[in-house]
Amino acid sequence: MARMSKRERLLTRHVLARGIRDPLVVAALKKVPREAFVPRGERRHAFEDRPLPIGGGQTISQPYIVAFMVEALELRGGEKVLEIGAGSGYAAALLAEIAGEVYAVERIGELAEKANLNLQKAGYPNVHVRHADGTEGWAGAAPFDAILVSANAPAVPENLKSQLKVGGRLVIPVGPSADAQDLRRVRRIDEHEFAEETLAEVRFVPLIGKFGWEES
């Protein structure tokens, strides 16, 4: 029997074993090199299912959680997707394997530059990175088929909901503290109505900005 690579072991033991089944998400996980999106000093840990520091007090989320959130967006291919909290660009790369165009916003300038460089090197010209307040979204590119928020908000920002297409999905961690957060999926039913459901308990860094938490 052939020996599994580190990436295959991570995928099999820590992602597929926990219920990720969407074939588009699985294919993206197999293709995107997570090690290309972590700092050089952390690359020996790139195939472990845990968050890793990427600078600026931020982390790259564990692969299972990223896969779970991307799967929750219910992408089918070719969509326009907004990501809030680009970090090092890893989740944007996974999204770019499925979606047609990805718009990624990062509030920390250093990380926005790194994400853009990482994505260029990895070959994702369909990802557009902006250094800005992610809580404001990207109105000029709206509406979006899906929005992924990779940081914890005190409530679901109304302006992000307004940037969804009818039928679009928003996945976001919401909670009162760093220790009590729910991952929620918001679906736009029509111009004025939204349906919301809780998917899992999670822990994310705070979503800082005009429509999120104030910077301490």
How close are the terminal C-alpha atoms of the chain, in Å?
53
Q: How far apart are CA 73 and CA 83, in angstroms?
A: 11
Q: What is the DSSP letter of 26?
A: H
Element holding 96 (H helix, E strand): helix 90-98
State the greatest distance between any 2 C-alpha atoms of the chain, in Å, as a whole number: 56
Considering the candidates 5, 61, 150, 162, report the single residue annotated as catalytic: 61
Q: To which H or E segment does residue 207 belong?
A: none
- The reply to whether 177 belongs to the active site is no
Catalytic residues: 61
